[in-house]
Structure 1
Amino acid sequence: MSGRVLIVDTDKSFVKGLRYSLEQDEYVIEHAGSAAAAMELLNRKNYDMVLTEIELPDSNGLLFCQNLRTISAVPLIFITNVDEDIKKILALEYGADDYLVKPFNILELKARIKAVLRRYSNKLQESDGNVIEIRDIRINTVGRKVTCKDKNISLTGKEFDLLYVLASTPGKVYTREELLERVWGYAYYGDLRTVDVHIRRIREKLEKDPKISEYIITKWGVGYFFREK
């Protein structure tokens, strides 16, 4: 598995070593030293993966990730010196696919890149195109945008991923464990209640009355499913 990777980091020595290692696996590597430079490249080119430090000279990496998710669903992994649980959790909430603290074993990074790319590829294959439309909900997987009754719905990264998994296979009941695996993967830092919290937040944004759901239905004792009709 290979592809085009954008590395966003100011440490030229680190980037040089990482570039060399990934090029051994036939990845095509490009580099940006700031969030602004990275966004300029991302607006002009297509990438298969973004690897970014959380501490950037012109922006917080979390804000960079959040802004990126408004234009692209490209997989993103934080590779950073910041080893704080709250930053890891926020990174995943804002749409990152994984979080790895420096220093790390390059083989572990390569394994995580491959795992994220596999998950991303599987998501794309589940849909016949870039847009899922069910009743009055429209999900654009490229821009990661959701509308309900022609109204734009603002979702966090994981809320979008969770809604996408459910809506891409309407009527299929997912257990909480399955949703954790599909949405959070091994980069998960919480427990099963995380799924319930995210479902509640999505309902609050989609439903007139979150207590009477029209879209995401609870299968008591099992999990959740997206209503087909």
Structure 2
Amino acid sequence: MSDAPKRVLVVDDEASITEFVGYALKKEGYQVDTSANGEDALALARKGSYDLFVLDIMLPGMDGYELCRRIRSITAAPVLFLSARDTELDKVVGLEIGGDDYLAKPFGVRELIARVHALLRRGSGGDFPSASRAITASGITLDEDAHTASGEKGSLDLTPREFELLASLMKQAGKVVSREDLLRDAWGWEYLTETKTVDTHIKRLRDKIEKAGYDPSLVETVRGYGYRFRQ
């Protein structure tokens, strides 16, 4: 693995937040850039290669949701939303448009750092890439340490959440996995009762499976229950 520091872009129109988050992340060894609005942040995202985005939702002009959508067309790097609004609907919307985690304001530095570490571990395959943990089914090999999904036809460019969803399904290939279990496995958020976000991410996962040259029907819908990965 590269020893270069991970790059993080923090986007918030409150200077106190960008200063607080930026200082906390720099102390952990991250390289941090900041922006106060979505337009400037998008320009930075297009120019630089970031490992993580920390986005406020209520930005002037382009809000955090729209910024996330546009970032998703550029990179699969994880997105952590920040918001003063702490409702289940806000969390669901953030997840459905491509976010990976959601942190409500006010938050403590320890919680922030824990979330950032977790997202970057998932995005890079962990801190200890020892023996490979690979799962193979229907021509696709998923390596949990390298955090890659590939096969003879090509590689899948997955976000951390899409990777976790595919891992959960492939580990139980041939079995039906409920939406609730997928939500828990991919997000660790058992308290979210709205499971439609899983459907949204499964659709994106199928699109990427097809784009890589595989059959999108490898992920089957089992009506009224969940999904199954065909063996």
Partner of 2:157: 141
2:122 aligned with 1:113 = no
CA contact 1:8–1:32 (8 Å) conserved in 2: yes
In the alignment, the residues of structure 2 paired with residue 101 and residue 203 of structure 1 have an alpha-carbon distance, to the nearest angstrom, of 27
Helix, strand or coil at the partner of 1:79: strand
Q: Percent identity?
A: 29
Partner of 1:68: 71
Which 5+ residue runs of structure 2 have no aligned equivalent?
A: 127-141, 211-215
CA contact 2:182–2:198 (8 Å) conserved in 1: no
Deviation, 1:119, is 2.2
In the alignment, the residues of structure 2 paired with residue 88 and residue 178 of structure 1 have an alpha-carbon distance, to the nearest angstrom, of 18
Partner of 2:107: 104
2:132 aligned with 1:122 = no
2:57 aligned with 1:41 = no
CA contact 1:19–1:29 (8 Å) conserved in 2: yes
Change (3 A) 1:128 1:170: farther
Partner of 1:4: 7
Q: How big is each residue's C-alpha offset from its partner over 1:93-119, in whole Å with a ceiling of 9 and x where there is no partner?
A: 111111111111110111111112222
2:225 aligned with 1:226 = no
In the alignment, the residues of structure 2 paired with residue 103 and residue 93 of structure 1 have an alpha-carbon distance, to the nearest angstrom, of 23
TM-score, scaled to structure 2:
0.69
Partner of 2:54: 51
Which 5+ residue runs of structure 1 have no aligned equivalent?
A: 145-156, 208-212
Q: How big is each residue's C-alpha offset from its partner over 1:112-167, in whole Å with a ceiling of 9 and x where there is no partner?
A: 111122222339844979674688xx77416x6xxxxxxxxxxxx96x55764467
Partner of 1:182: 185
Partner of 1:151: none
Q: How big is each residue's C-alpha offset from its partner over 1:37-66, in whole Å with a ceiling of 9 and x where there is no partner?
A: 111111111111111110111212111111
Helix, strand or coil at the partner of 1:181: helix
In the alignment, the residues of structure 2 paired with residue 25 and residue 203 of structure 1 have an alpha-carbon distance, to the nearest angstrom, of 32
Q: How many residues align?
A: 206
Helix, strand or coil at the partner of 1:186: coil
AA in 1 matched with 2:43:
E
CA contact 2:165–2:182 (8 Å) conserved in 1: no
Which of 75, 86, 95 does residue 98 from structure 2 map onto?
Answer: 95
TM-score, scaled to structure 1:
0.69
**Superposition CA RMSD, Å:** 4.1
Q: How big is each residue's C-alpha offset from its partner over 1:153-202, in whole Å with a ceiling of 9 and x where there is no partner?
A: xxxx96x55764467669464743652233222386226x5587559867
Change (3 A) 1:10 1:201: closer
In the alignment, the residues of structure 2 paired with residue 179 and residue 113 of structure 1 have an alpha-carbon distance, to the nearest angstrom, of 21
